[in-house]
Structures are given as C-alpha cells and as structure tokens.
Chain A
Amino acid sequence: MKNLFQFLWRNNYTIFFVLLEVLSISLVIRNNNFQNTSAFNSSNYLTGSVMEAISNVNEYIGLKTTNRYLASENARLHTLLSGNRDRAATGTAGNFVYTPCKVINNSVYRQANYLTLDKGSLDGIRAEMGVISSQGVVGIVKNVSPHFSTVMSLLHKDASISARFRKNNYFGPLSWDGKDPSYATLRDIARHVKISAGDTIVTTSYSSIFPTDIPIGIVASYEAAPGENFYAVRVTLSTDFRNLDYVYVINNILQQEQQELEAQTEEDDS
C-alpha cells in the first residue's frame, strides 16, 4: 500500500495528465453520440451572447449580399404565390411551417461543422428539424436551448440526406467528403441513369424533415469506379455555406402523424 502511494506521488504529473486527457476525450465522444444540450457548446447563454455580438458586426459587413439574396427570394416567393392560388384547391401544401432565424455562428473548414441560430425552444424549434436557406438545404437542428439552437451543417462528416435528380427522380444518399465546402457527393445512382453536368439535385419527399423539391445543388461531374454498378456524382452545393446570414427552420407539423403511421404499419407487418 505504501509503495502504491509512493508511486502515485512520484507520478502525480502523469496521472493528472491522463485524468485531464480522459476527461477531454470522453467529452468529445459524449458530444458525438448524444443529442443532449451540453453545457459546453454555443447554445450556452454566455457563448451565445458573445457570438451574437460578433455576428452583428459580420451581418453589417455582409448587408449588400444579404439584400441581394432577400430580393431574389422575394421574387421566388412571389412566383410561388401566384402559382399557389390555382393549386390551393388540391390541399396538399400547408404542412410545413417556416421559422426565419439568424445565423450567429458558422464554420465550414472543420470535419464536423455546426451553425448556431438565434432562436430556440421558446420559438418552437426542436431537434431533428430541417434547416434551409433561400439558396437551398443547410442542415438539421441538433441541440436546442431556450434562446439558441445548434445545427449540424450538411458540411459534417456524419451528415447524410436523401437527394434525387429533379428530372427523373432517381435518388441516393448525399454526403460531404470533408474537403471542399462547395461540393458534396451523391452515391448509389445506378449506371443506366443518364446524367449530364448541370442537372439539378433536390430533396426527396421520402424524409419527413425536408419538403420535397428544395434545391441541394447541381451536378459538377460523375464517375463510376471500374466494376462498380453505381455512379458517385460530384454535386456543386447551391448553398454558399461561407456566407449564411438568414435561414429557415422547417417544422413539419404532420411529421409525428406520418412517423406513427409508418411505425404502426411496420409493426403490423412483423
């Protein structure tokens, strides 16, 4: 026993080091695995307020570009509105509610990128909601605190969303390779599908997170490794992640109903 204490005392520096390392690494792993609002991320009130101040300055600098995006979005919405009056009778639209949010923290150069938004659970935002900008898909809400929320960006090595060709509905998972924030890769597209550069990639209607037909990007190039039956399509993302100011969080008010029905159907099956 005495020897043990002597050993501990002599190596207290190394033991303290190992302790701190284990603590740090466990924080890393915990944060990767669980969707809980951790005290150490920027949903936190203190860091959130600092981020907000920084973002105010950045926002001012980027006013010109933002104005352009808003104007173009206004135009798009006006077009949609005029089209909608004719379609209103069919009653298909209306189950998605959009909440505009300001991006107060953003990153694109890491392997796991997150955004912080200035609205949280008090504004009706919950984890697993989709986030889009006027340009296209941005990511999925990960953590929520009363006033802030963090979003797992599409530029995250674990992010994967279901995407399809607008022209022919062939779909596959779209993910980011961790290198260039302008490109993502769409996989599992069968070799017989006719692809050409410039084809538009949009969201599918299969996930209950995003509405269908939200733009994701356009085809830059495609290739299939020899002996592979599937193309890997390189997609130029339509969202400029390096310049995001305002985004919309999408609440699918029928999501729960849809998921319950699907779960029940699967249960009946087995």
Chain B
Amino acid sequence: MIRELVPLVIRFAGLIAVQVVILNNVLVSGYINPFLYVLFILTLPVKFPRSAVLLLAFVSGLVIDMFTNTTGMHAAATVLMAYVRPAVLRFYAPRDGYDADAVPDISHFGFQWFLVYAATLVFVHHLALFFIEVFRFSGFISTLSRVLFSSVVTLALILITQFLFRKSTSVR
C-alpha cells in the first residue's frame, strides 16, 4: 500500500508545484492559461476507489485555488471531472474490460486511446472552470473559445509530460 502511495504523492506534489510555480505565471497568447495539474486525476489507476478520486480531485483543486485566489472554482471543476471519469472510462473501455492494475496513460493504452480519453475529461474540466469563472452565459461564444483554446494547450502539455515520463512507467 505504502509503495503505491509514495509515487502518487510525489506526482501530486510535482504537478501542483509545476502548475503554481511555472504555468500560473505563463501566458500563451493573451488569456490562455494551461492547467496541467488535472493530469494527476487523469492517470489515477482505473480501479482506484471512486470516492477517493473525488476527494483527491477536491483537494488538488482547492490547493490550486489557494494559489490563484479563485476559492472553490478549480475545486468545483476538478470534482466534476473526477465524477464523470468512471463513465468516460466505461465508454472507452477495451473490448475485454480493464485489467485489475490498469492505469489510463499512454504507456498502457497507446497514444490514440489516451488522446481521446484525456481530451474528453480536459474539455469537461475547462468548460466547468471557465463558466464558473464568468458566472453567466452571456458572451457564450467568447467563453467557449477560451475553453477550446485552453483545452488544446493543456492537452498538448499533458501529452508532452506523458512522453517525457513514459520510460519510468513502462519499466514497472
């Protein structure tokens, strides 16, 4: 149990640190802000208890909120993403189901599967986040375009991170 927890904690701390120290200070063409930290929730093992995923999502969202003065916004968006994750996993499930130790990442399921899976959840997260942020539906198109552009940038960062750390996971 402890041996499984240690890499989890390291990944959690690492992603939060990268998000807070680097990404929150980076602006891609004006108002696009990538949110790499959702990768932590994306790559939790398939059989990880669902309620524990929710709780972790809440905690990671709240930590990001503390650093960006957005109390609750990231928490709400990340919890929503964690909530739909089991349904998304079921929808994209391989024909003979998941193995007991399956982890939804590139090294286990390949590039194409991971791209579709990550894109779905990142879109859900960004959609919730940006609409909670403006708290209204006027200017729908402009908000939606922010959602789409930010999702693409976040997704690109997630894929790069996955490729960078692929070796260490496939050794296992």
Q: How far, in angstroms, from A204 to B72 measured CA to CA in the complex?
A: 36
> Please, which residues of chain A bring their CB within 8 A of the CB of B57?
20
> Please, which residues of chain B bring their CB within 8 A of the CB of A150?
69
Give 26 pairs: A residue, B residue, CB < 8 Å, sorted on A.
Answer: A12-B51, A13-B51, A14-B83, A20-B54, A21-B76, A21-B79, A23-B58, A23-B72, A23-B75, A25-B76, A27-B75, A40-B65, A40-B71, A42-B66, A44-B66, A108-B27, A108-B31, A109-B30, A109-B32, A110-B33, A111-B134, A150-B69, A178-B134, A178-B139, A179-B31, A181-B31
- The reply to whether the CB of A54 lies closer than 8 angstroms to some CB of chain B is yes
Q: How far, in angstroms, from A28 to B77 measured CA to CA in the complex?
A: 11
Encoded as 1 (CB less than 8 Å from any A CB) or 0, chain B from 18 to 44 comes to: 001100110100111100000000000
- The reply to whether the CB of B67 lies closer than 8 angstroms to some CB of chain A is yes
Residues of A within 8 A of B (CB-CB), count: 43
> Please, which residues of chain A bring their CB within 8 A of the CB of B133?
110-112
Residues of B within 8 A of A (CB-CB), count: 37
Given contact pairs A109-B30, A111-B134, A150-B69, a sample of 12 additional A-B residue pairs in the complex whose CB atoms are under 8 Å apart: A13-B51, A21-B79, A28-B73, A28-B76, A28-B132, A40-B65, A41-B69, A54-B21, A105-B69, A112-B133, A178-B139, A180-B30
> Please, which residues of chain B bring their CB within 8 A of the CB of A50?
20, 67
Binding site for B on A (CB under 8 A): 12-14, 16-17, 20-21, 23-32, 38, 40-42, 44, 47, 50-51, 54, 58, 105, 107-112, 114, 116, 150, 157, 178-181, 242
Q: How far, in angstroms, from A23 to B130 measured CA to CA in the complex?
A: 18
Which 7 A-B residue pairings sit nearest by Cβ, starting from the closest? A27-B72, A24-B76, A28-B72, A31-B71, A24-B75, A109-B31, A24-B72
- The reply to whether the CB of B70 lies closer than 8 angstroms to some CB of chain A is yes
Q: How far, in angstroms, from A16 to B51 measured CA to CA in the complex?
A: 7
Distance (whole angstroms) from the CB of B67 to the closest CB of chain A: 5
A28 touches B30 (CB 8 A): no
> Please, which residues of chain A bring their CB within 8 A of the CB of B62?
40
A41 touches B71 (CB 8 A): yes
Distance (whole angstroms) from the CB of B17 to the closest CB of chain A: 9
Q: How far, in angstroms, from A62 to B32 measured CA to CA in the complex?
A: 22
A-B contact count (CB 8 A): 104
Q: A12-B51, A17-B79 are in contact. Are A42 and B69 (CB under 8 A)?
A: yes
Binding site for A on B (CB under 8 A): 20-21, 24-25, 27, 30-33, 50-51, 54-55, 57-58, 61-62, 65-73, 75-76, 79-80, 83, 132-135, 139, 142
Distance (whole angstroms) from the CB of B130 to the closest CB of chain A: 8
> Please, which residues of chain A bring their CB within 8 A of the CB of B25?
54, 58
> Please, which residues of chain A bring their CB within 8 A of the CB of B139?
178
Nearest neighbor of B27 in chain A, beta-carbon distance: A109
Nearest neighbor of B86 in chain A, beta-carbon distance: A13
> Please, which residues of chain A bring their CB within 8 A of the CB of B32?
109
Chain A CB within 10 A, most for which of B30, B70, B83, B132: B70
